[in-house]
Structure formats: C-alpha cells, structure tokens
Amino acid sequence: MAEKYTPSELLICLASRLMEDGQTAFIGTGIPMLAGALAQKRHAPNLIPIFEFGGTGAILEKLPLAVGDMRTFHRAVIASGICDIMETAQRGFVEYGFLGGAQIDAYGNLNSTVIGTHGAPKVRLPGSGGGNDVGSLCWRLIAIMRHDKRRFVEKLDFLTTPGYLSGGHSREEAGLPAGTGPYRVVSNLGILGFDDETRRMKLLSLNPGVTVEQVIESTSFELLVAGDLETNDPPTDDELRILREDVDPDGLYR
C-alpha cells in the first residue's frame, strides 16, 4: 500500500505520468517542474524539458527554483534565450506545454492575469509570462489546477491563454495552429480532457476517494462525464521516495 501523501504530491505524480520519454515539454515553475524532475528520474530519462529563459534538455538533478534558475541549464543540449524558445514552439517542435492558472473555463481557456476587471482588479496575478505562447503554440497543453468553483468558472475574468475559445472550430478560425490546444487538466479531484467535437471539458478519471458528484459540485460550468470513468492510481511508494528524497528533499513544494 502506498504511503500517505499530500494533495500536492498527488498532483505532481499525476502530471509526471503524462510526461513521455523522448518528448519535449515546456515546463513552468512549481508543480510542472517537480513533475518533470520526477519523470526524468523515474520513467522518462530522455524527457527534453524546455524552459522559458532558454534552457533546453537540462538534466534536472537538483530542483530549479524558477524558469531562469541556472539549474535549468544544467547539462542542457541548448542554452539560448526566450526568443529562440518561443520560435521553437512556433515552428512546432514542442509537444507538451504545462501551465497553471487562477481560472479555467469549459473550453480550457486560462486566466493568470487578474481577478476582477482589468482596469480595477481585486487581485493582480503573475500575468502571462510565456503562458499565451505556450497555450497557443504547443501541440498539447496540460493545465494543472486546484479544483473548486472559484477556479473552474463559467466565464473568465480575463483571457490570458487561449484554449478552445468558444468551442468547436473557433480556435482554428482565430488563426491558431490546427491540431494544437488543451489536452488534459490535472486537478486534485481527477483528470479531465475535452470532447472531440464540442471541445467542452470532460471528466475522464477520478482521484482516489473522489466521487463524480464531488467534481460536479466543484465546477461552475456544466461538465461532461465520460461513460467509462476510471480511477487514478495513488502515488506509489517509489514515486514518493524519489519525490521526497531526490527531487524535493527540502520539502519546498509539499
């Protein structure tokens, strides 16, 4: 039986399992960074992490504290800059993009800019950074979110990162590359995807101990539910050992 784990550890492990060996992954600060390091050390040694400030293919032996940390260049294949990285995504060379946000809607659009109106916000958030580029240009966007009604909202206070916009073919009609867009949402309640036709968010699997009713009650918009719901495996003892002893021994993110 797996050891007791925290909600953050569950999110990290679920996100890590989505990172495939030999693939490129645009990684941000926080949970995506821990997930990338865990993946490299456990099941994806050839994962190619890409960081906003120019590090490409770094070996994540020690946890970087931010996307500009010198450890994002450790034994990297390339050490360039932000313009080169964004151009790499624009050319179609980045498979996965991992982002967080304060709000997400039914079509995977994200807000990481303000809560309230832009002119007179209640809360100012970190802003876009490379979030718009990642969501616009990477083939598969994976959002990592805490799941409650304040975050899974009917209407964003501000559109920072485009998902499927208003659904259907609206993303392509807006000029964004065909075939790109939101792929998964990893939350503390489950993993969600998107309907192939309407592009609305769909619940695919539940985290241990979570019910469909809990997910629906924690979502402000109408949520589609897959007919063959699965249950996600909890973190294994091996995942927790690597995460706690090798990836984040100081417990910075737990």
DSSP 8-state secondary structure symbol assigned to residue 235 = P
The answer for 127, left when phi > 0, alpha when psi is -120 to 50, beta otherwise, is left
Query: Angle at the Cα of 114 (from 113 to 119), degrees rounded to 5?
Result: 115
Question: In 3D, which of 40, 104, 99, 100 has the Cα closest to residue 72?
Answer: 40
Strand order in the sheet with 55-56: 78-79, 55-56, 48-50, 24-26, 96-99, 140-145, 182-187, 190-194, 201-206, 224-231
Task: Check the CA dihedral 78-83-86-89 and report its sign.
Answer: negative
Assigned token pair, 249: 């021994």
Enumerate the active-site residues: 52
3-class secondary structure, 223? coil
